[in-house]
Chain A
Amino acid sequence: MATEEHGSGGATGYIVHHLTPLSTGEGFWTFHLDTLFFSVFLGGLFVIIFRKAAEKATSGVPGPLQNFVEMIVEFVDAQVKDSFHGRSALIAPLALSIFVWVFLMNSMDLIPVDLLPDIGKAIGLDYLRVVPSTDLNATFAMSISVFFLILFYSFKVKGPIGFGKEMILTPFHSVWMIPFNLILKLVEELAKPVSLGLRLFGNMYAGELIFILIALLPWYVQPLLSFPWAVFHILIITLQAFIFMVLTIVYLSLAHEDH
């Protein structure tokens, strides 16, 4: 969008430049290289650190890394146990991956807005958008995956007939209400991935935009605004990761519920 503004400089150009991804390919087959790189990098960071802790995990006195990892794992486990009452080998690790990955992707927000793009420019990258969760592709990739899991578990637990019944006979248990029920249910189910993906995207995009706007102000004003905004964003980053995780758990536990 509005790439033609870039190059003309000015405030709009600066903002647009910061929000334009480094991409390759045409049409649908466009890849946002920065999103892919940073999300893979952060995901790798997550699994390497956690795997290291898991490898050396001892039931005795834990080291600092194990302590830290255990704290997160126990926190996630408590959330899962709170909302999900069935037995599943997938949901808790899924929730952990979502929480840590989203948290790490969001926390790229706290890196000064010009630092990585300027480095990128120095090594020949025209555009660099460093926060993967400001890319709809990243947030929807997760929410659509979760949506597939919801469908999968709904079919698996309730069976095709049970799931079909739920689609056409709730919330109003009457033959005459079938079309209405169906529309309602379809909206309800589709709203899940859309709201999941858009919520995270919207929050992070807006947050990043504010950082960019602050960066446009005179240097002596910037700390006054960017510091409180960054502190506030520490909360937003964690909160959004937490919300994404909890909603995933809730949706999947709903999919497991057999009426």
Chain B
Amino acid sequence: MSINATLIGQMITFALLVWFTMKYVWPPLMQTLEERKKKIADGLASAEKGKHEMELAEKRATALLREAKDQAADIVNLAQKRASEVVEESKQSAKDEGERIVAAAKAEIERELQQAKEGLRQQVAVLAISAAEQILQKEVDQKKHREIIDNLGKQLGQA
């Protein structure tokens, strides 16, 4: 149990161990630990950032969606308005067209009526003259009585 030269040997061994640990064991291990710490911190930070970005994107998506919905609603409203306008317009134009057709038909009818009347009047005048000829048993000089016949025609026309 005596203290002897073993002490010196042990001290040298101890010094060598500490030196070796200090030089070749501790620094690389600490560096590794630091690096890992940094890696983990970076990972956590980027995860946090990613989460934040996702939240922002979600918000933006929601906003876009709402906007799109609003736009769609606007478009639908506009389309409905336009459709009713078109319907209204076409109704109006159909009505106008109908009226126009009716007016044209009326005018045609009027014109044909006038023609018929004119025809009738002349026929009636011819008939009246022939009737008068027969009654008078005498040929009426057409040229001589042109005025009378015309007057007669006019009177008939007024009738």
Contact = CB atoms under 8 A, between A and B. Distances in A.
A36 B14 contact: no
Interface string A77-95: 1000000000001101110
Contacts of A28: 4-5
Given A32-B4, A57-B28, A137-B3, A93 B36 contact: no
Interface in A1-20: 1
Interface stretch (B18-26, B54-62, B105-113, B128-136): B18-26
Contacts of B22: 89-90, 93-94
Interface of A is mostly: helix
A142 B25 contact: no
A161 to B, nearest CB: 29
A89 B16 CA distance: 15
B25 A51 contact: yes
A145 interface: yes
Contact of A97 (B3, B4, B7, B17): B17
Contact of A36 (B1, B10, B36): B10
B17 A35 contact: no
B6 to A, nearest CB: 4
Contact of A59 (B10, B17, B25, B39): B39
B159 interface: no
B32 A136 contact: no
A141 B12 CA distance: 9
Interface size range on A against B:
35 or more
B26 to A, nearest CB: 4
Given A58-B32, A136-B3, A39 B13 contact: yes
A90 B22 CA distance: 6
9 contacts: A30-B4, A36-B10, A92-B30, A93-B22, A93-B25, A94-B21, A101-B14, A145-B11, A145-B14
Interface of A: 1, 23, 25, 27-32, 35-36, 39-40, 43, 46-47, 50-51, 53-55, 57-60, 66, 69-70, 73-74, 77, 89-90, 92-94, 96-97, 101, 132, 135-138, 140-142, 144-145
